[in-house]
Structure 1
């Protein structure tokens, strides 16, 4: 019988193994318009932590005892809809399980690009779209800008680094540990700060960008956001993608340089990538072009087997991934 992960309890602080339970799911025969998909790759993403809390947000919370959702790539094994046939590879949100039965309208055939299927969960999927739209639309970054990217070794941050370099920007990345910093540097970053060993982050960022920054792409919040405020140039633009600093304990770091928001006329905007889903063709056009020009690279941290889902997810909050965190079913 197909299996899926659910919440056994809502996490208090950092998620722990006992917060999750593997359950049987009787998917039954297909109704007209439904498609059965055998999942091959599953995604874990930081935003999922928010859905584990019983609070109102831009997406409903996960229900205790019900299968969780998340990005997945799978193979159609049975279809009751003429738009899909057995063997089609599809992208959908029926993750955290080995098999999904979904309405055909909730499936997307993988675009015809020369990349591995799992890339559509990372650089060519939601994280890549987040990087693309956050940098180029929300922050309106342009050639000549100096861009600071936190969590630059992650799935979103590493793509921000590469898009910014492809568009002629100066890029400063932040990552934790020598290996991750070296990888970010290999992607083309002009400077990389090891936030675990740099001491004062505002001082380190000021040294890397003596003229200040024009754009901050925020995946972290906390001390990284404060450092960006400390060195922001006049009319800087901050794209607030995520704040992993507060996802588990909810305690925000004091922002000592917040008042510079006023004097420097900094524009700070949060965004949700789902706002841009209707513009996917633009994303695939540009990303496909950069891929063909050899300007994009990606890294994946892969766990094997459905049983590894909680471990992979928890690893997001302990620095356990370089690039995209994935589970291969």
Structure 2
């Protein structure tokens, strides 16, 4: 039998456990070219919230009463594909299930000699690639420039900050707990970190942390935090627009300052992007990321929730800021 979490209803505002339904279904027999994978680690990501809404986006919305799709690292249990053998570790997008029957064309092998297999869903997976291309391709930070990262203790943000440090930039992080602040400063060597939950004046704190203005703003959160950062952008600033997690659960359209004049007078670039835009270039990024990890130039952190039954809990934790780094659910050893 296969356990699955289905999207039972579309959330209004912040999701709750009632939006998910746990079911058990038989595992179907394999067809030619298919592989049976036993899930080991399952990813939960902020973008999944957007797919729960029934509106047009860069990917289709989740269907009701269907398993929630997302990244999984698992072990091949049975194979009718010439590409995969029993016991191999693979990554696929079959989502919140304890087992997946997947076409071999939709799986990729994971080399556990490079790094722990969970990193295929984090620093050496979608979050790491998002940080790499968003920062280097759009922002191209230069030595001595000031880079500000919101959501700096998340799976993408902490990698962005470290790559910016590798490039010689001065890095300012924005995060939401003292534990996160300490990790970013003491372990990852961010130059300054601002706790947006405890500050009484984030604009003043940003001015103090960025006396020479902001050359690059990697935007993971949107909302009032981004409004405050954008007031400080320099001439020629670059703003990769990666996520807007502060807005995902709003029930009404958010009305904020109009930033076009700031972009205009500073000849600044704001560019939204999706990591899949760069799929044809993943082969150039992954070896470099793996090298930086092996050399200790990039550190990573994972928040791991144990047990498949806790998938919704792990997902909801993303929106209350419970995770540091990549949020994962460990389903099996």
Residue 200 of structure 1: how far off its partner (Å):
2.1
Corresponding position of 1:297: 299
TM-score by length of 1: 0.97
1:237 maps to what in 2?
A: 238
Q: Is the 8 A contact 2:152 2:174 kept in 1?
A: yes
Q: For residue 140 of structure 2, what is the aligned residue in structure 1?
A: 140
Using a 3 Å threshold, how does the CA distance of structure 1 residues 256 and 207 change in structure 2: closer, same or farther? farther
Q: Deviations over 1:173-225 (max 9, x none)?
A: 00001111111112010110111112222221111011101100000001121
Per-residue Cα deviation, 1:105-141 (whole angstroms, up to 9, x for no partner)? 1001014653110011111110010000000002222
Partner of residue 156, structure 2: 156
- Could you say which residue in structure 2 is the equivalent of 1:224? 225
CA distance in 1, matches of 2:240, 2:70: 24
**What residue number does 2:212 align with?**
211
Deviates more, 1:192-201 or 1:211-220: 192-201
Cα deviation code 1:35-89 (max 9, x no counterpart): 1100000000000000100111111111111111101100001000110000110
| C-alpha deviation, 1:257, in angstroms | 5.2
Q: Which of structure 1's runs of 4+ aligned residues deviate more than 4 A? A: none
After TM superposition, give the deviation of residue 260 of structure 1 in Å: 1.4
Contact conserved, 1:34 with 1:79, CA < 8 A, in 2? yes
TM-score by length of 2: 0.96
Could you say what secondary structure the match of 1:259 adopts?
A: helix
- CA separation in 1, counterparts of 2:119 and 2:301? 10
Give how far 1:280 is off.
Answer: 1.5
1:312 corresponding residue in structure 2: 314
Go from structure 1 to structure 2 and tell me whether the alpha carbon gap of 1:145 and 1:112 turns closer, same or farther (over 3 Å shift).
farther
The CA RMSD measured in Å over matched residues stands at 1.3
Whole-angstrom CA distance in 1 between matches of 2:327 and 2:291: 25
1:24 Cα shift? 2.1
Q: Which runs of 5+ in 1 are unaligned?
A: none
1:196 aligns to what?
Answer: 197
5+ long unaligned stretches in structure 2: none
Deviation at 1:29, TM superposition (A): 0.6
